[in-house]
Structure 1
Amino acid sequence: MKRFHILLCMLAACSACKQDHIGPISDDKAQPNPVMNATAIGMAGAAEISYSLPDDQNLSYVRAEFEINGVKKEAKSSYFKRSVRVEGFGDTAEHTVTLYTVSRAEVASTPVQIKVKPLPPAIWKVYKSLDVAEAFGGLQVKFSNEDKGKIVIVTLLYDPAAKEWRNVNNFYYGLDSGKFTVRGLQPVKQRFGIYIKDRWDNKSDTLRFELTPIYEEELDKTKFVSAMKKKYPIPQVAPLPKTPGVQIVEPGNLSSWPIENMWNGIIGNEGYHTTENKDVPIWVPIDLGVKAVISRYKIWQRQAGYIYNHGNPHEWELWGTNTPTDVNSWVKLDHQIMEKPSGLPLGQNSNEDIDAAAAGQEYELPIGSPAVRYIAWKHIDSWAAVDGIIGHLHISEISIWGQIKK
């Protein structure tokens, strides 16, 4: 019993040792010496300040105080480092930064002031790189972001009735270049504005312009019909099956996963599913029911644990024709390799990956594509068999937009 009591006491002591310490971690109230030899190098919307530290074992960190748009800010750097970064400046003017060393007892040194002169922030470089063009159903914006700043590109539309600008799109980005398309706009001349802002609420000027979105409409899925088993000839052009002597053919489907599920409006763990272990590529022809210039299409992967995996499409081509009986009439409309936002290995998905799969992946066709009534999905490989010899395909849903031609 005595040994049990001692053990309980030891456990209680260990538990107390593990409690988080709040507040100063030293009783030494001596004021530390300040930093020495401070120098600053300007960066995009920021500055890196280097310095020497006094020989004081009681130091905890260095604190930098400064202002952004009239709001007081601070940055901290461990005593193990010899520099601190101050960021969020929206101009290239000189700014004063005040540096303090801080002890383990939270006692600050006397201040040391230094002038910093940041380089132009990312928002201005992105603003100068903006390339805007009309697009189907809206407008397309291309840009470069060489500093990889975390930015928001805000698109405005002028409402002449209300005589005011309204926000129609926010595009968040942090890579070195990109593009996006604003959709759902009427095909009439309209006034637009675009500006860039960052997380410190710095804003660029507003680029104002007029353009006319190109007309498009979503094709009526009730008119889609499978063109499988019509014995239409298939273009035997590269890429071809890797098995010698095997040609591209139409696949069968699993009994409860017919091709019609591909346009039934249901997105989830269901859809179209071909038979498995087929030599790839395979050919999936569809009659759209109308002749149309396809502007874009969106596909939804089979959801749940299958996204970016199993038979979901990884690489494919889209072909089109108006005379499917003529093998030479087929033209390649598009070629795509699906990208996984996170770049994580097979079987690992980030929240961004999951959200992108749920929203559907959209692909645009170049302006000038021919009007076609018949399309064919040439499935090259799936996520679980990238560059494979055999495989299969499943897709939950597809939507197609374009201009219908008589």
Structure 2
Amino acid sequence: MISKIYNPKNSLTDHILFMLSIALVLCLFSCKETEGFNDVVTSDKSKPAAITSVKVENYSGGAVITYSLPKTENLLYVLAEYRINDLVVRQSKSSYYTDTIRVEGFEKSAEYEVTLYAVSRADVKSDAVLVKVHPETPAYLLSFPTILMQRDFGGVNLTAKNPNKQAIGIIVITTDKTSGRMLPVEQYYTKAEDINFSVRGFDTLSRDFGVYITDRWGNISDTLIQKISPIYEILVPKDKFSEYRLGTDSPLGATGLGWNTTRLWDNITVDPGWHTEAGQGKPLQITTFSMGTMVKLSRYKIWERGEAYGNDYSYGHGNPKAWTLWGSAATAPQDVELPVTSLPGAVVGDWVNLGNFDCPPPPSGNVPGQTTPLDLAAVKAGFEFNISLDAPRVRYIRLAVKSTWGNADFAHVTELSFWGNTN
């Protein structure tokens, strides 16, 4: 494994990519920031007095400037103009209701000059007041040294830290077969403190993967490049799957309508599927089955119940909201009472916790029960989850649902698919 760091501005090709990345981000985020003011036209063309008593408080990537407002009756807002990097000049505005303005998006921790104006309702500026700010290291540069790339099933896994939980974009690039250039294959935007995601869809041949970090103002880090050989991955064949019912498994419900455990692997992602019986009063809804072969799992996909029979079950009813996936490599794993709460890697009898999972919320942001076509499409597409690279090889699976979207005492799932290495 070889790794190196280079600045994407160092070659013409990479400079073009760099400029395109900035253009994309700048299209998504305006270069002008407004803080609660409305333009008002007036015939009073008098020049407002300048602001005074300026103080600066620096933070990661920006600064908060406080000041005393001039005693000008026609004052409308305070304007800050400043350059955040070699390419971009920004403006921030703050209304006369406040004595604070925020300037942010600076490329690095350095001294920058901010020009402040008091602006009247007739759009007349006061004399300029120059202020020096020295922002702390911005989030994208804080995060860059923490990047860890490692081979994953069908691609590469990336982890990083974002200690200030600011919005950053992690851009993954690799060599394009047609052009021979390093081009983006994933753009992952997040505010999460602990970042962990995988990029897949590649064969096992060694190739260069690169990653750099941007922010919403178009700043961009250097690029870390590593030569990585992805791990072999296939969709685990379902023709060997079989039910392996244990005593603590939940009683089946809606069997008269065709719901049973084997429907979880019939390659039909709509009704019917697996459905437990209501009214059992158990904290977990559990089903157990065998994949028929030992697998080093990489990921899986779960399809919950969506629209059916003229009803919408999305994000409601017995659809799982939180669950644990357990696995076993034993020849004939024994039954055991599974805990409601446990950590990944925990071992209970013949079973190991492969991960605790939460269903993503509706992408529309609406509360459950107010689903949109976007929400319905997400449910129809299924939800995919990674299995930790540290997880052991297993043959048997136990799905233990601990909560549902409808706070029901039963659960239902229409399909499960698994990927990994069966060799």
Aligned match of 2:354 in 323, 334, 341? 334
SS of alignment partner, residue 92 of structure 2: strand
- After TM superposition, give the deviation of residue 282 of structure 1 in Å: 4.1
Say yes or no: does 1:324 pair with 2:327.
no
Aligned match of 1:188 in 180, 201, 205? 205
What residue number does 1:64 align with? 80
- After TM superposition, give the deviation of residue 364 of structure 1 in Å: 0.7
What residue number does 1:139 align with? 156
What residue number does 2:114 align with? 97
TM-score if structure 1 supplies the norm length? 0.79
What residue number does 1:3 align with? none
Do the aligned residues in 1 keep the contact of 2:171 with 2:184 (CA within 8 Å)?
yes
1:105-136 deviation per Cα after TM superposition (whole angstroms, max 9, x unaligned): 22221222222222211111110111222222
Q: Distance in 1 between matches of 2:376 and 2:160?
A: 26
Q: Distance in 1 between matches of 2:371 and 2:212?
A: 30
Do the aligned residues in 1 keep the contact of 2:294 with 2:329 (CA within 8 Å)?
no
Do the aligned residues in 2 keep the contact of 1:333 with 1:369 (CA within 8 Å)?
no
SS of alignment partner, residue 422 of structure 2: strand
Say yes or no: does 1:286 pair with 2:309.
no
Give the alignment of 1:261-276 within 5 angstroms.
261-268=263-270, 271-276=273-278
Q: Which has the larger radius of gyration?
A: 1
What residue number does 2:383 align with? 360
Q: Distance in 2 between matches of 1:222 and 1:150?
A: 44
What residue number does 1:219 align with? 236
Give the alignment of 1:68-217 within 5 angstroms.
68=84, 69-159=86-176, 162-217=179-234
Say yes or no: does 1:370 pair with 2:390.
no
- After TM superposition, give the deviation of residue 46 of structure 1 in Å: 1.4
Aligned length: 362
Do the aligned residues in 2 keep the contact of 1:45 with 1:87 (CA within 8 Å)?
yes
Q: Distance in 2 between matches of 1:91 and 1:57?
A: 38
What residue number does 2:368 align with? 347
TM-score if structure 2 supplies the norm length? 0.76
Q: Distance in 1 between matches of 2:39 and 2:69?
A: 23
- After TM superposition, give the deviation of residue 223 of structure 1 in Å: 3.6
1:173-227 deviation per Cα after TM superposition (whole angstroms, max 9, x unaligned): 1122221111122223222111001122110011111222222211123443334
- After TM superposition, give the deviation of residue 172 of structure 1 in Å: 0.6
Structure 1 pair 371–249 and aligned structure 2 pair: CA distance change class (3 A): closer
Structure 1 pair 371–319 and aligned structure 2 pair: CA distance change class (3 A): closer
Q: Distance in 1 between matches of 2:272 and 2:44?
A: 67
Structure 1 pair 249–120 and aligned structure 2 pair: CA distance change class (3 A): closer
Following TM superposition, the consecutive aligned residue runs of length 4 or more in structure 1 with deviations greater than 4 angstroms are 159-162, 325-329, 339-346, 348-359
SS of alignment partner, residue 90 of structure 1: coil
Give the alignment of 1:213-252 within 5 angstroms.
213-228=230-245, 233-234=246-247, 248-252=248-252
Letter in 1 for 2:415: E
Q: Distance in 2 between matches of 1:34 and 1:353?
A: 51
What residue number does 1:309 align with? 316
Q: Distance in 2 between matches of 1:332 and 1:184?
A: 28
1:141-162 deviation per Cα after TM superposition (whole angstroms, max 9, x unaligned): 1111112221110111135774
Letter in 2 for 1:152: G
Q: Distance in 2 between matches of 1:147 and 1:380?
A: 32
What residue number does 2:407 align with? 385
SS of alignment partner, residue 81 of structure 2: strand
Letter in 2 for 1:336: N
Structure 1 pair 303–192 and aligned structure 2 pair: CA distance change class (3 A): same
Do the aligned residues in 1 keep the contact of 2:354 with 2:391 (CA within 8 Å)?
no
